[in-house]
Amino acid sequence: MGGNEIGCPPEPFSETFVKAKEHGLYSLPHAGELVGPGSIWGALEMLKADRIGHGVRFIEDPELLQMLKIKQIPLEMCLSSNQYLHVYDRLEDHPFPQLYNLDLMVTENTDDPTLFNTSLVREYELLATLYDFNKADIARIARNAFVAALPHIDVKSRLLADFDIWYSDTI
């Protein structure tokens, strides 16, 4: 579930999401970008979210922050999208570094690369230049994306192993 969250809370979709999960699908809603932490609570409690698209506004709720840290629910951060949509007018004010330093399962993504005139490389460059993230930081964030990915466990294990080999060869 994606798109504009305003006027479109997750709760009315709970029955559909529950049925989809019963049939082996994952729950991957956008929540907490344009609307505050309440939409994230709804996505977690009613849609049983396996991963949250954006979720950046959870920083406004300490209880939600603690729960996401404990459960390590992946958060798909999108710096350029958040700036373009005026969630944060200045990327220097974005909470990404704080979330990263709290050891949350954060990933960096492009959202809609054509609309937001970005690429994954540019997003990683923003992390490095704005927040002084080093190669190890960027690698950890990239690795989180593999951990948060939802392919068959054999595929996921192979991808993680390949990433770890690639990274160990580059340092």
> Domain map of the chain by residue range?
11-170
The highest-confidence range among 25-39, 46-60, 125-139, 142-156, by mean pLDDT, is 125-139
CB 32 within 8 A of CB 40: yes
Whether the pTM exceeds 0.95: the reply is no
| DSSP 3-state of 47 | coil
pLDDT band at 44 (very low <50, low <70, confident <90, very high): very high
Active site residues: 33
Q: What is the CATH number of domain 11-170?
A: 3.20.20.140
| Phi, psi torsion values for 53, nearest 5 degrees | -75, 120
Q: Beta partners for 52?
A: 75
d(CA 49, CA 21): 10
d(CA 57, CA 63): 13
* Higher per-residue pLDDT: 169 or 105: 105
The predicted-structure confidence for 98-147, as pLDDT tens digits, reads as follows 999 999 999 999 988 888 999 999 999 999 999 999 999 999 999 999 99
